Structure formats: structure tokens, C-alpha cells
Structure 1
Amino acid sequence: MDFTTLENQFKVLGSETRLRVVNALIQSRGGLRFSEIAKALDIYPSTLEDHLKRLVESGIISRTDQIYRSTMNTERVYQIVKSLNDTCDSTYFSTHILSIDNDSLKERFLTLKFDCVYDLLSLMNRSKDVIDNGMKLAKAGGAMDMQLETSFFEFYPIDLKDTDVEVIFTKSILDDFLEVENKELFFKGFNPKRTRLYVVDDCSVAMMTSESFGALFLSNLDGTMDFTKGLFFSDQNAVGWLHDLFDYLKSTGEEFSPKEIRKVWK
């Protein structure tokens, strides 16, 4: 599967009008002329022309002898987008991207069930009951905002002393974290003997997961991280995928040496 093409098609379908055009072509089966689409959807010709051009250029639909048609690819992409839109903000995947070098994880991601959350506080409210009742394990990390994370733990302390914890830092974020005031707040509720730390060269996702829930924050299309919206996972298949994502990221880096742990934990 060509994920570069698929990601571009998601961007093109991040428009209600283009989704309506695609749906109309799928329903028509035999295809529609320009005038028929404009009349059926009540769209100005000048506006429709631009939408159809983008759909054809992206390979989502085809045009032959003035007839616009859906293809097998049209229906496949449309069903993926429709499935995602049923559980998430309809524009989220036109502005965000899962940027990892693992095609298997990307392909599985398209089948998952999740909900949108709109900030870190909303996420914690969704997961508060699970956290308060105790967790056997917790995995977190990636492209984190350490100032935000540390400030959050100052106001919402979490007791993870009986929890097996794994945390992934990127090299740049680790350097930033070492300069954060009150960084000890981040690890205040952790048990050093049950915590393992890892460092990776780079990462374009931020995540956290336990045995029963998880959350994922993706980057914007320009590569910057966005913590104003994210994905909340409670379906066990989706949570399992999140664990596999964490383990994949962990495998690309190295575990902290005792000397490095002391630098972070002091």
C-alpha cells in the first residue's frame, strides 16, 4: 500500500463537498456528467470544477469521455474515511498525520476504533477512573511537551508507585527536560525500581497507554506536534495496537544507562 498517496487522499477528502461528490458517484454506479453532479448536489459550476479536479488528480475518482466515475479505490478510501469520521472529528485526518516508518502499524491503524479528545485535561478526565483505581502498567512518551507534562503533574499528581512504567524520550526533548524547573514533579509518583527509560533519535507522535486505555497525539502536516486534539482508545484491539506502537518506537532507541537515569532522577 502506498501510504504517501493514501495520506494525500485523506487530505483531499477533508472537505464535506468532496465527500458528497464521492458519495454521489459511488451511489450512481455508472458515473455522472459534470452538469448532473452540479444539479444533484446544488453546487456552483466554478466551485465544482475545482473539487472535481482535485479528486481526479489525487486518483480518488476517474474521468473518461466527460463522465466522472468511482473506482474500487474510490470506495476503499471513502469507507476508511467514513469509518474514521464516525468516531472522530471529520477534519482531523486532513490536518494530522501518523508519521512512522512502519507500514504494518499504519495499515492496522486504519481499522481501529477511537474517539477524539480536545486537550490533555479532557484526556485525563476520560481516564481518571482507571488511573485512580490503579494500573498494572503504564507506557508513555514520544514527542512530549515536557513543560506541559510537568506542570500537569504538579496540579494532578498520579500515584504510580505500584505500576510498571516505561517512558520514551526523544534526544531533543530529553535535553529540554533537563532544563525544566521542578522536573522532579514528573517522576514524583513513580517507583524508580519499576520504571524503565528509553531514548530515541526522533519521534512524531506522543502517546500514553495502560492495560485498558490509551491516547495518541499526532503531528500536524508541517511536522509540529498538536496537543489540542488527540485520539482516545478504549477498544481492546486499539489498545493492543498502541502497545505495539510503543514497543516499535522503543526498539528504535536505547535504554538509559544508570548514569543517565541519575541525571534525570536527581
Structure 2
Amino acid sequence: MGRSILHNKEILTHLSIYHLVQIIMNYSKNINKVLGCLKSEKRVRILKCLLDSKTGLHFNEIAEALSLIPSTLEYHIKTLLKLNLISHIGAIYTTNALSQLFWNLYKSLSTLDPIIPYLNGHKLPIDDPNLFLNFLNSNPTILPDLISMLNLMKDLVKSKISKFRIAGSFNLTLEERIMQFSEYDIHLDQLEIISTYEEYQKLLDYENYDYFFSFTDISNIRLFLVNECNFYMGIGESSQDVFGMLFLPDITDEIDFQKALLFRGKYNVFWLDQIFERLKKDAKRINITEDLLNDKSLFEKYLKALKNH
């Protein structure tokens, strides 16, 4: 993006949220870094202060206006400059087009207020503006603990889930507890799983391995192998409902299985469905057979050969 566009604030009032997201992502290369600014109230205040200024402000003027000590202000100014969310012209700090884009996006995220604290400490698996736009409009809610997940699953199973799709890193103990929590029988018409070699190894080593394939016939199981997938998602469908759950990695890249994002309804799950299909497009198909399911050592050899092929 050229400097002239960055400093042309007049165009901003004509941009839709889609264009805001697209320009931010194309320019910053990493939407998580942009969203990371939401972690700091001080950085938001600095941005707002500069946006309210018509001609920009000196360092001391910002410090005085916001009652910030110089060392604190310097730290946050450097962060904003590094992300190109503000500009430095001579001794004056001022905003640019990306500053206003960020501010407009920040205001557009108001519907996500309840989950922003969660997003601050986690990483979204989104590198596409279309997907991010769909996420903004997906009305996610937080499942704050295991009890909430168990109660939700008990309620959802009543609608007789017929199709279930899983992608990412397994938490096998959690999954088994959720599925066993309900007194309703579960029989799936389709089960799809996308995961890595390492995660399938965990599944093969799990004590109750057979349990995870007991909900459907082998002809209804489709397994796929990918090189990496550092999150966990599940999409369930019935004739009455569609839901999605997403477990994100925290800032240390460890998946947080204590909390999850929940999406209800076909429209709100659409963006998760897109992520799943993109993963599947780049995955290797595992040709599952009764022999593989019944012989773990054979299954392990097959996976290793497929991985190295």
C-alpha cells in the first residue's frame, strides 16, 4: 500500500467493513497483530487521541493529554509505529489511513465485546479477509468451562446429530466425556476427521480407541491427513440445527481446551465450514478399512507410509 493511500483519510468514510478488513490484512500481513492492539487500553487511547487531533501531536502533548509517564508512552508509541498504525513526521506523531481503518474495525467489533478478552489471549486461524468478515458476523458465544460444554452437548444430542466433522488436535478424554455425558443413543450418518500424523498416533495409543468409531458404520467414516493444524474444531449437523465449536491456541501456541467458542445456525457456522473444507482440499485421504481399524500396528504403518509419500 502506498504512502499516499496511508495518508488519504478522506477515502475512509466510503469503505465497507469488508474493505477495512481486506486492506488491514493485506497491509499488516497478520490480523492477529492488529487485533493484538485491543489488548491495551492505553494504545487505544493513544490512537483515539491522535485521531481527534487534526494536525498531529508532539510526544509531550500526548503524554499530558493522557496522563501517561514518558516511558509508558514511548513503549506503546513504538508498538503502534511498528504496526504502521500511526506515523511519525519530524517531531509530530499523527495518524494515517490504517489508523482510521483500525479504529473503524475496533468499533465494528462491538458485537464481539463479550469474547474480546478471550481473543486477546488466543490466536485465530484466519489469514483471509473473507473468512474474517464471516467470523465478525457469526455471533460467537463463549463456553467458559467443561460443565457448559457437557450441558450443551446433552442438549444438542436431543436433536439427533447425523453428521459430525472434526479437525485439528484431539483432546480425547474431553471428547469421550462429552459424548458419554448424554443418555441418548448417537448414530452418525457421516463422520469426517482431519488431523495430523501425531494426533492420529495419540488416537491409536488411547485406551478407548474403539469408542471413537462406534457411532457409525465404517462406510460412513472419512479420515484425512494434514501436515499441521494447531486448533480444534467440531461441526455437528442435524435436521433441526447446525452448531460449531472452536478451541483456539493461546499465546504460547498450546490449545486451550478449558474454553471454547460456540456458533449456532447454518449462517454462523458457515465460516468454520469454509476452514474445514480448505483443510480437506489440501489433505491426504486415509482409505480406512476394517483391517486398519482392527489392527493398530497396521494402521500405524499405513499412516507412516502415507505421511512420507
Please report the TM-score for the alignment, with normalisation by the length of structure 2.
0.72
- Are 2:206 and 1:180 aligned? yes
- Are 2:71 and 1:46 aligned? yes
The alpha-carbon deviation at position 161 of structure 1 amounts to 0.9
- Are 2:176 and 1:150 aligned? yes
Q: Which amino acid in the other structure matches residue 260 of structure 1? A: L
For 2:52, what is the secondary structure of its paired residue? helix
The alpha-carbon deviation at position 162 of structure 1 amounts to 4.5
Question: In the aligned structure 2, how far is the partner of 1:78 from the partner of 1:124?
Answer: 38
Q: Which amino acid in the other structure matches residue 222 of structure 2? A: R
For 1:96, what is the secondary structure of its paired residue? coil
Which residue is equivalent to 2:247?
217
Please report the TM-score for the alignment, with normalisation by the length of structure 1.
0.83
Maintained 8 Å contact 1:89/1:116 = yes
Which residue is equivalent to 2:23?
none
1:195 corresponds to which of 204, 221, 237: 221
Question: In the aligned structure 1, how far is the partner of 2:243 from the partner of 2:166?
Answer: 12
Q: Which amino acid in the other structure matches residue 250 of structure 1? A: K
Report Cα offsets for 1:91-137 as digits up to 9, x if no partner. 4334322346x636654455333223334442443454333212342
The alpha-carbon deviation at position 217 of structure 1 amounts to 1.5
- Are 2:94 and 1:69 aligned? yes
Question: Aligned-residue CA RMSD in angstroms?
Answer: 3.0
Which residue is equivalent to 2:292?
260
Tell me: CA distance 1:152–1:111, structure 2 relative to 1, closer, same or farther (3 Å). closer
Which consecutive residues of structure 1, in runs of 5 or more, have no partner in the other structure?
Answer: none
> How many equivalent pairs are there?
264
1:55 corresponds to which of 80, 85, 90: 80
The alpha-carbon deviation at position 170 of structure 1 amounts to 1.8
Tell me: CA distance 1:117–1:78, structure 2 relative to 1, closer, same or farther (3 Å). farther
Which residue is equivalent to 2:121?
95
For 2:261, what is the secondary structure of its paired residue? strand
Maintained 8 Å contact 2:161/2:236 = yes
Which consecutive residues of structure 2, in runs of 5 or more, have no partner in the other structure?
Answer: 1-25, 300-309
Which residue is equivalent to 1:28?
53
Question: In the aligned structure 2, how far is the partner of 1:16 from the partner of 1:29?
Answer: 22
Question: In the aligned structure 2, how far is the partner of 1:14 from the partner of 1:34?
Answer: 22
Question: In the aligned structure 1, how far is the partner of 2:265 from the partner of 2:42?
Answer: 31
The alpha-carbon deviation at position 206 of structure 1 amounts to 0.7
For 2:36, what is the secondary structure of its paired residue? helix
Maintained 8 Å contact 1:14/1:93 = no
For 1:49, what is the secondary structure of its paired residue? helix
For 1:186, what is the secondary structure of its paired residue? helix
Tell me: CA distance 1:136–1:148, structure 2 relative to 1, closer, same or farther (3 Å). closer
The alpha-carbon deviation at position 176 of structure 1 amounts to 1.0
Question: In the aligned structure 2, how far is the partner of 1:147 from the partner of 1:244?
Answer: 27
53-62 vs 26-35, which moves further:
26-35
* Identical positions, percent: 29
Q: Which amino acid in the other structure matches residue 71 of structure 1? A: N
Report Cα offsets for 1:204-253 as digits up to 9, x if no partner. 12101134221112223333222223322125433111111111112222
Question: In the aligned structure 2, how far is the partner of 1:40 from the partner of 1:181?
Answer: 62
Question: In the aligned structure 2, how far is the partner of 1:158 from the partner of 1:195?
Answer: 21
